[in-house]
A and B are shown apart, each in its own frame.
Chain A
Amino acid sequence: MNAHWRHEALRALWQGALILLGLLVVLVGGYAAIYQFSWASDPHWIEAHRDRFRLPDLAENLRWFWIHQDSQYWVVRVRLDRGPITLEGQPPHARYWSVTYYAGEQTNSSINNANVVLESDDMYRIVITADLQPGLPNQIETRPGETRATIELRITIQAFDQPVLLPDIWQNDTLLVEGVRP
């Protein structure tokens, strides 16, 4: 009887391990596939790290480890192969803010509160494009051949009595993401 139960236990163990392995391959592989193939299919701002355990945002938050408490990090995934990306918004009331385009670790270009040029309505319009237009302010150049990117809005030491106004995101006259206006 003991030998029988040992045999059964071992069989349950390796079969359970195999089922677990299969489940992991399916779940992780499926999640990775959905993450890659649905890139920017439903672009929206997410606050990095705050909702780190929300499954749809999990992959994004896994990349944002270096969060520190003085800053808010708002990120959005966009496709660059469908035209230039334009961010329109009101500058945050903060000690420091920046819009950064991330294409890996090689290039991290930013427009920030020191170098931004505001328009007559005190709004900013930041263009992320592969074809820089000479003389136009607030342009961030993308790397050649880049088809997708993460754009980050970093806001450091936000004024406590002012709301965060996330910018609109446009692409080819289409409003991709509706921001917040005052």
Chain B
Amino acid sequence: MSIARWLITRLIVVIVLGLLLVWLAYAVILPAYVSGQYRRELSLDHVTGQTGESVAGSEDAVYFAARYTCRDTVTVISGPAPDAVYWMIGIYDNRLMRIPGGHLNDSTVEIGEDGQFRAVIQPGPGNAQSTLECGHRQGGIVIMRVFLPADPDAVEAPNIEQRPLE
């Protein structure tokens, strides 16, 4: 076999296998790893609260996190609007990337007269003031960040519940 033919055939194999490996890492391994990590730490039916001192955040913030499922499921998050300089709720996919259309903050979320907010994670669009659209994704992580709360100890964890998509 000529050297050129040897090189070309091996180069083709390298490219094909390389692309396959990249796809595998991005589409299968990374989501599986992330899901596996957070399946141990986070729940589907209640939020886990942590201060910024114990997670990769900031000590002047309070964080709440939970897992959510997007397939045929609606996840409702509700609770009192925190008294803080800034707070937000955002959803991330199984690669921990933020999802377009999956972000609400204290200026955009609808807050009732009773001071309660209610946000819904669902596959399709809905009320812009209360919907976090997860699209075709399987699931991921939802995070609520509260920056500079007036009283960090008084920040209440939101409720989270799931129901089948009608």
Contact = CB atoms under 8 A, between A and B. Distances in A.
A154 B58 contact: yes
A20 B9 contact: no
Interface of B: 1, 9-14, 17-18, 21, 52-60, 85-86, 88, 90, 92, 95-98, 103, 105, 107, 143, 145, 147-148
B86 A96 contact: yes
A33 to B, nearest CB: 21
B105 A70 contact: yes
A70 B56 CA distance: 18
A66 B60 CA distance: 17
Contacts of B21: 20
Q: What class of interface size applies to chain A in its complex with B?
A: 20 to 34
Contact of B17 (A17, A102, A107): A17
Contacts of A102: 56
B52 A95 contact: no
Chain B residues touching A, majority SS: mixed
B54 A105 contact: yes
B17 A66 contact: no
B88 A66 contact: no
B59 A96 contact: no
Interface in A1-55: 8, 12-13, 15-17, 19-20, 23
Nearest to B20: A20
A82 interface: no
Contacts of A98: 58, 60
Interface stretch (A85-93, A109-117, A120-128, A162-170): A109-117
Interface string A144-181: 00000000001011000000000000000000000000
Given A95-B85, A156-B86, A112 B58 contact: yes
